[in-house]
Structure 1
Amino acid sequence: MGKVEVSGGAIRIDGKPVQMISGTIHYFRVHPELWRDRIEKAKMMGLNAIETYLCHNLHEPHKGEFDFSGMLDFERFLDEIHRAGLYAIVRPGPYICAEWENGGLPPWLSVEPGIDFRCSNPAFLEANDRYLNKVLPMVKKHLYTAGGPVVMMQIENEYGSYGKDRNYLEHIRQVYLRNGIDVPLFTSDGPCDWMLHGGTIPECYQTLNFGSRSEEAFRKGREYRPEGPDFCMEFWNGWFDHWGEKHHTRPAKDAAKELDAMLKAGASVNFYVFHGGTNFGFMAGANGNGAEAGDYGPTVTSYDYDAPLSESGDPTPKFFAFQEVIRKYRKDAAFGTPRPGRKQSPGRVKFIESAPLFGQLDRLSARRHALKPLTMEACGQSYGFINYRTVIDGPAEENLYFPEVRDRVSAYLDGEYLGTVYRNDANRRIPFRLKKETAVLDLLVENTGRVNYGPLVGRDLKGLPLGVCIGWQSQIEFDIWNLELDDISKVEYGEYRNAKEVPAFHRGYFEAEAGADTFVRIPGVKGVVWINGFNLGRYWNIGPCKTLYVPAPVLKEGRNQIVVLELHQLDVNSVKLTDKPKL
């Protein structure tokens, strides 16, 4: 079998030095029927490797219960890389950042007794070991030394940005070794002293993450590892977006110039990302460290990233700019010109049925009772929404006060909308007036994405962690519904109604072709869209993205179903499906 080593200032595969020109594709952000297409296009640009994370949160959605089906079948993904004749780089985590929910850590981990994160904490190590002992034997079958494509594997992820517990890093390395991983292990960190000091260990190859000033970055890296070889494991050729911000782009010419400098110097490069894909469902993460008010920034559904390959898999100007540079350094590559994927415009789809959310609570979730509002995690819930219902006393003219909101709460008194408080709002009060003796208060809270980077990773509990006050008095006695919304087939619809400020499901049907993508123009203020039961993700009219990507394999020839959960009010009684994205 083959051999991979880092020696003599080079990455050597079967004894020969190899300059890695790799690109990131996350299998969990791309429909599995499109994996081959995206990988083949990477090969056409001139890449010789594909890099991916593994996502602990989806592979172990509940403690001790694992899932590797469908979009989570990373072994099939590695097989596709091998079939294309490319190498693979795998980064199992357990923490991955990646603008991914909770940095890839499962939410149930946050309420494990005695837990602390990303350190030599026994409860954390136990959970990590269980996960790694499950996935590493699966990856082992695909190692280059076993006839597969995997030539390198990462320990943790940008650990120096967070901590400096080297015993923790060494523990992970030992787990890899015990599982028979015999390809080079590496770390990746930013090119500054405190990150490199905290995130590297002598036994692992050191790589760097950056987007510019490569000569300066590699010089800093060589202060710690003079033997090299230089490897930019995350070349940030684009960037991600948060809700309410502008769409980030980077000029192709600028990024290509930086790429040329690295390849000319003999460095290896991994494009972060080659193809971003989509944060389907509720998987988009967030940024925020809690250091100052209003610093929470949830990531949008699109992970287009202004990458060489667009969200829908089409080549961008960066693809051709990078390809032109790579041609100078890889004479034997199978360069090609990818064709854009087929797109379709089914047009405007009229909603014909509706189901107000509050009438569906008992169909979507078992009801539980608690003295105070429990967090999602305390209820065993990971994603979606949580509804708290309580009875308040009157008559009263007061404020609802929310000491902490994670992340967005809308209040309804006897079904009438009172207002919304967002996590970043300085004013967390909603005034109300109650003339009668009692009324039912519903508090619908949305998890808009757990923080994926920094000290709040693992600690970003969702719901109303500090409860709600009427004036300054803490309210008690709540019924709770955990609205994960992983199966909305039990929703019962009636005639179409678009009532103002009534959260509701709306359903319609449309005709489509097989084999062609489309895009949903956002239909209202804020909500979620499903097509044929597939959760496309969140929308929000604050932008920047105004469309949701619909991969061709989600659509059927003929009749298709669309369901929208709108939290406030639809713009019109229909939604438009178009052949062009608006990011």
Structure 2
Amino acid sequence: MERVSWQPLALLLLAAAAAVASGTEVGYDGRSMVIDGERRLLISGSIHYPRSTPEMWPDLIRKAKEGGLDAIETYVFWNGHEPRRRQYNFEGSYDIVRFFKEVQDAGMYAILRIGPYICGEWNYGGLPAWLRDISGMQFRMHNNPFEQEMETFTTLIVDKLKEAKMFAGQGGPIILSQIENEYGNVMDKLNNDESASEYIHWCAAMANKQNVGVPWIMCQQDQDVPPNVINTCNGFYCHDWFPKRTDIPKIWTENWTGWQPKYGHLKDLHNVLKSMEKILLHGDYKDTTMGNTNVMVTKYTLDNSSACFISNKFDDKEVNVTLDDGATHVVPAWSVSILPDCKTVAYNSAKIKTQTSVMVKRPGVETVTDGLAWSWMPENLHPFMTDEKGNFRKNELLEQIATSGDQSDYLWYRTSLEHKGESNYKLHVNTTGHELYAFVNGKLVGRHYAPNGGFVFQMETPVKLHSGKNYISLLSATIGLKNYGALFEMMPAGIVGGPVKLVDTVTNTTAYDLSNSSWSYKAGLAGEYRETHLDKAKDRSQWRGGTIPVHRPFTWYKATFEAPTGEEPVVADLLGLGKGVVWKCLTGCNEPSQRFYHVPRSFLKAGEPNTMVLFEEAGGDPTRVSFHTVAVGAACAEAAEVGDESKAALAAFTAACVGKESCTVRHTEDFRAGSGCDSGVLTVQATC
């Protein structure tokens, strides 16, 4: 369970009420955001529009609102909107105007986080790889090539949203805009403090001249804060963080709650906070340590009312805290209790009192497995088995991202050499790629991948050369590009520089250094050029039926299937496939870390065949793939606080599990006695 820390005055959660058509005035003071002249306690959550389909947006936004949120924030995804320079995409999941209109239709405010560097667990942090092709380009530094491209894209987005009247002053939902993203975390590591400072001040000036009519924010910009922006906090803990100026509010733009069973628990928190909005934003407050700096009471007073927060920073023990009225309250370790009247605990961050449900296979619906009709097609590797017909040649080993322009995860490095007689060698390749396949004279001789995320490794594999011309083809693959850190765009990929050499198996010395040979380059696979994934009519004769080969690398598979009936979400169970599945054996041995992938209903056609195309790189068994629907399963609520739980279950788990790395407890009927839970489901919450 995530540890939650809280200091109420220091936290301003972003939020809003519905904008009115006549326009909304947005401002701020040192205490909060000010909407149409009123201080507001604002609570917001993220929905990233490209990570779902337009058909899903209304339901996602509705659920966010029902969870107590009043505003939706999203990044803007530059490399998705401009995959090639001056070629734009605002269709489908990238229809940003439609997304904000959905937010507005739901009666919510919106926060526009343009960036356009976003991090966001998104390839290259949202920056297009084609930026590297521009002469003199330095990412996120004070230089004309980058600033010109950044301003062009930022202006494009702003103008598009202005045209649609999406900003609050126009009657739209957007109440805040963000420029750059977490730059303060890296600016002192960029080896040029002057350029970094000039750049971040340029960002603020460029943003403000856009005249969007709402404040601009910069998150994690704690040092060298430009004027006319609000600097904000991201992270798990922002209770000790304060903005640089006293005339701006404290805003927590990212509260990383991703590992907590959070929806119902946070909904309860939002409701409690909203009930205290006036006293939190207008009342006087005082912090009082209770005998130890790890225990604090923060008390708000306004007129004749009061509200209290009790914080326990001890991570290993609960505390008893007695307030002014003489009542004593037990506060669990590393938690905060909220008392809206300073008398009764309405919420504690460590006690999950809400119902927690899990997704289960929907009963009564047959899983679509046997009905899948499979066919297959080998990836055509033949054109890449010589060093002919490449895009270009170079007498050096080049960096992969700049060479391929990130138009494919794959880049072929191919060369040849004349050899007298037959001999055995070790092929040695040094690479900064993520994966590497080696072919000699058309045969796969080796495969290696970067272990534990360290993208530098060496591959050595035995090879046999024949007399005459021999061809060496190396396929380098990336699995997503780095998206965070100082100068992250300078981190190389591929076989840049090498060396690539043939090592004598007897003397263990270099027989041939191929690093500066004539290398032929080609990005992508044949199936990518043919767009095999689109299952075009002209290619359908290439698919083979009959017995489906399994554990065969570089193979395309296709299946037709009927969509599962009903309205529940559909998932593809990709158990059996290879690349992309990480196997673990601490718990759940022989089970993949992820096997279920959501398939939006809007992708499927009801009552007629649907087609799925898979490319299996490493070798897997597609016949184990299936589809089924999922639904919310039963759960027992009110099971997290002493007095609510089954005492028999608590005693059994305490005896068997406390102080141990793993434990096993046999379920008995005694667990249900007196617990008030008749669902047959036992929920155990543990803190390690």
**TM-score scaled by length of structure 1:** 0.74
What is residue 245 of structure 2 aligned with on the other side?
225
Q: Specify the SS of the correspondent of 1:347.
A: coil
* Identity among equivalent pairs (%): 25
Task: Report whether the alignment pairs 1:544 with 2:571.
Answer: no
| 1:153 matched to 2:191 | no
Q: Which residue of 1 aligns with 2:234?
A: 209
How far 1:10 sits from its partner (Å)? 2.1
Match of 1:180 among 182, 191, 211: 211
Query: CA separation of 1:565/1:455 partners in 2, compared to 1, >3 Å: closer, same or farther?
Result: same
User: What are the superposed Cα offsets for residues 411-451 of structure 1, whole Å, 9 maximum, x if unpaired?
Assistant: 23344332222233775122222142344433222220111
User: How far apart in 2 are the matches of 1:352 and 1:65?
Assistant: 37
Counterpart of 1:520? 572
| Structure 1 CA distance for aligned equivalents of residues 372 and 439 of structure 2 | 28
Equivalent of residue 431 in structure 2, options 395, 401, 404 = 404
Between the aligned partners of 1:497 and 1:368, the Cα distance in structure 2 is 34
Q: Which runs of 5+ in 1 are unaligned?
A: 190-194, 240-248, 268-323, 330-335, 528-537
Shift of 1:541: 5.0
**Paired residue secondary structure (2:524):** strand
**1:162-561 correspondence runs (5 A):** 162-163=186-187, 165-189=196-220, 196-198=222-224, 200-212=225-237, 214-216=238-240, 220-222=241-243, 224-238=244-258, 266=280, 345-348=367-370, 350=372, 352-359=374-381, 367-371=390-394, 372-374=396-398, 375-394=400-419, 395-423=422-450, 424=454, 428-437=458-467, 438-467=469-498, 469-471=500-502, 473=513, 474=515, 475-483=517-525, 485=528, 487-488=531-532, 489=534, 492-495=542-545, 497-498=548-549, 500-513=551-564, 515-527=567-579, 539-541=581-583, 543-557=592-606, 558-561=608-611
Aligned-partner Cα distance in 2 for 1:106–1:361: 29
Task: Evaluate the alpha carbon distance shift between residue 393 and residue 545 of structure 1 in structure 2; reply closer, same or farther with a 3 A threshold.
Answer: farther
Give the Å deviation of 1:47: 0.8
Q: Residue 445 of structure 2 contacts residue 461 of structure 2 at CA under 8 Å; is this kept in 1? A: yes
Report how far residue 480 of structure 1 moved: 1.5
String of CA shifts for 1:208-257, please: whole Å, max 9, x gaps. Answer: 11213x432xxx315x2333422111011125xxxxxxxxx567899789
Bigger CA radius of gyration? 2
* Cα distance in structure 2, aligned partners of 1:351 and 1:373: 43
Between the aligned partners of 1:447 and 1:157, the Cα distance in structure 2 is 25
CA displacement 1:39-87 (0-9 Å, x = unmatched) = 0111111111000000111111111111111110010000000000000
Once residues 236 and 26 of structure 1 are traced to their aligned partners in structure 2, the CA distance between those partners, rounded to angstroms, is 15
Give the letter aligned to residue 119 of structure 1: M
Aligned to 2:166: 142
Displacement after TM superposition at 1:564 (Å): 1.4
Q: Quick one: which amino acid aligns to residue 386 of structure 1?
A: L
RMSD: 3.6
Q: Counterparts of 2:126 and 2:150 in 1: how far apart (Å)?
A: 12
The answer as to 2:84 corresponding to 1:62 is yes
**1: CA distance, partners of 2:339 / 2:81:** 37
Q: Deviations over 1:364-398 (max 9, x none)?
A: xx952323454243243434322334335553433
8 Å CA contact 2:564, 2:570 repeated in 1? no
**Measured at CA, do residues 24 and 255 of structure 1 come closer, stay the same or move farther in structure 2, by a change above 3 Å?**
same
Asked if the contact 2:409/2:478 (under 8 Å) is kept, the reply is yes
Superimposed CA distance per residue, residues 183-230 of structure 1 (whole angstroms, 9 cap, x where no aligned partner) = 0111111xxxxx6115x3232112111213x432xxx315x2333422
Structure 2 residue runs of 5 or longer lacking an equivalent are 1-22, 189-195, 282-337, 341-345, 348-354, 503-509, 585-591, 632-688
Amino acid at match of 1:162: V
Q: Offset of 1:13 from its aligned partner? A: 1.1
Could you tell me the TM-score, scaled by structure 2's length? 0.64
Q: Answer whether contact 2:562 2:610 (CA < 8 A) is retained.
A: yes
User: How far apart are 1:349 and its partner, in Å?
Assistant: 5.5
Give the letter for the 2:518 counterpart.
Answer: I
2:552 and 2:466 mapped to 1: Cα distance?
Answer: 22
Return the alpha-carbon distance in structure 2 between the equivalents of residues 476 and 380 of structure 1.
21
- 1:573 aligns to what? 623
Any conservation in 1 of the 2:124–2:483 contact (CA below 8 Å)? Answer: yes
Residues 84-103 of structure 1: matches in 2 within 5 Å? 84-103=106-125
Q: Which moved more, 1:100-109 or 1:113-122?
A: 113-122
